[in-house]
A and B are shown apart, each in its own frame.
Chain A
């Protein structure tokens, strides 16, 4: 088989090659799915793991010095917004893929609140094709309701045939309890899951931040935590009632953590994700009306932050997802009440998780990798990607001790609305290997 000598696409700041004959020497290999945690060399030939152990000194392919690096199954972010089609001034599939690689992600699941929304195979394929040459599996999530209108179900069968593994009207909740029930019943026929953005909209109509002491001090309309909890309970109860599977997006409250924990104990098939920002920031950061902290659901109280971290540690919260939500600077440079909700997260997730959760001994590095890689893939019904000889090489390489400072002007995302600007973080991706490609940072 003849092959191009160079991959079709490359990006500034990365060395982009085929993963056809390369070795990583002396890295710490961690794979929670097979209880692997060992220092060894790993050989990759034609995009597959060819050997694990000692690579001979006379190996003639590309060699990456893995000293100090962790190599693990590729991170998968099951909650991103790529904004294409419709809002390409904020992000495109291409810029989103590059941001993903910079953050160490080999897979991302873009939410369907695009224009047009992802409610038919045409849009699914448009997004997939735009990502074809990147080392990133882009797995679009389709809408629950046709045209994301909240009225009737989207064509799940056709979408599932097109490869869709999850359905969500994210950005908005499913308002009708009956439509939610129908979606949970209908999805049982497919290897897919319903993801609910939990929000009771009649309670959040004017809300722009968590309702509490800080919103009172700032005179800003509040967004009560109860608005999330009510819908969380509804989603869990309906999934229990029709014996289906439900995943709760961006859990932000202590009470929703408790609801998930209780439901899991009685056997309900519920999973949950939490974002790095909800686990590292509380609403007090809004004190100067910085719109980079405006997000849906809003940043909550220190007690909520604590509950999310506990939930992640004990497995109540299954996955870490970023809810990467790019917005252009001029859209955010407005009055707080007028600014759009959302913050970018792909490039900072690993550093925030390691700095705020692992180095503080709240969760182990292995649990972090599990929540960034194994758990989200399982929720999305995607194949396992174990570090085993013969498996496809789908790997993230990162240095858990690399110190770096977040600089909003250096983001690979097309947008720069990060809440972590200026933060000094430990832990940064060195590169990824996936789909026969290897992208390694050059700086």
Chain B
């Protein structure tokens, strides 16, 4: 990226140096966000299109705020999943974006590989804001920023990914990135919601949450999409909560501090209890702040602009 990489499609293939550069730049932008006027002219004259094929209010607002803090011109294109069925293909959308001469596209799409599809076909730079159950690299980066703050380093640290790993859009980005940074990764969740061949990615699996918690330094709690019950992956939410719900009791049993991350909207009382999410020292809301800083860093580094930091 620093060496002129045009896109951020995923964490896969990014080495420790690149990730460390992004995190370092993010830390600088975080300081800017704490100023009275948290805005820099770094991307003045750059036009960014946020193209969202599925709703994700939180991610879209985070990107939009990051873009505005960098003084970019921003357009939002919302093409919900249904428009595909009305006849507009991703390729047509791509061509329209290209015709508008934007410099950078942030794309969120329900289909795996959609950001790669886009970047193969347009001149503009592309940032993946989540492509189905594949990758969501900026979410992983904000997780790492928070982890670095809490754990101070990654080498040898143990991170647990908890919940529906198969359908998660952040699991793979976490795995690829954390492994590049020298951390160990374990997944814990219902056997029906862990990918068939996850061990081939160098990741341990565990079905016993207490055992997994006693292993880890940090846990990233994935949202359980309520539809999974209807799809038959789990019998009931109640059964899920019984085996995999992150409760204060479970954390206290470990007897030492474990950093708790949660990427998306939470189902309180299912995958995470309120007294965990809202505990003193919880970093879950800090993650949201870090998200803006990380996205500023990514957009800035990809744009290749000289830093204008008065």
Contacts and interface: CB of A to CB of B under 8 A. Distances in A.
Contacts of B84: 338
A211 B134 CA distance: 14
B118 to A, nearest CB: 10
B196 interface: yes
A334 B113 contact: no
Contacts of B116: 288-289
Contacts of A224: 196
Interface in B1-51: 12
Nearest to A333: B91
B117 interface: yes
Interface of A: 211-213, 215-220, 222, 224, 288-289, 330, 333-338
B74 interface: no
18 contacts: A212-B197, A215-B195, A216-B197, A216-B201, A217-B12, A218-B113, A218-B134, A219-B112, A219-B132, A219-B172, A220-B134, A224-B196, A288-B120, A289-B112, A289-B116, A333-B89, A335-B114, A336-B111
Given A219-B133, A219-B169, 4 more contacts: A219-B134, A220-B113, A330-B91, A335-B111
Contacts of A217: 12, 172, 201
Contacts of A213: 197, 200-201
Contact of B109 (A211, A218, A219, A335): A335
Contacts of A288: 113, 116, 120
A192 B90 CA distance: 45
Contacts, number: 67
B217 interface: no
Given A219-B133, A219-B134, A289 B197 contact: no
Contacts of A222: 195-196
Contact of B112 (A211, A220, A334): A220
Given A219-B134, A333-B91, A211 B197 contact: yes
A219 B120 CA distance: 19
Nearest to B121: A333
Contact of B200 (A216, A220, A335): A216
Contacts of B133: 219-220
B195 A216 contact: yes
Contacts of B117: 289, 335
A282 to B, nearest CB: 14
Interface string B108-139: 01011110110010000000000111110000
A330 B95 CA distance: 14
Nearest to A331: B89
A334 B120 CA distance: 12
Nearest to B131: A219
Contact of B196 (A216, A219, A335, A336): A216
Contacts of A212: 196-197, 200
Interface string B195-219: 1111011000000000000000000
Nearest to B135: A219
B201 A337 contact: no
B45 to A, nearest CB: 32
Interface in B71-96: 84, 89-91
B130 to A, nearest CB: 11
Contacts of A338: 84, 111
Contacts of B114: 335
A218 B197 CA distance: 12
A214 B179 CA distance: 17
A328 to B, nearest CB: 12
Contacts of B131: 219
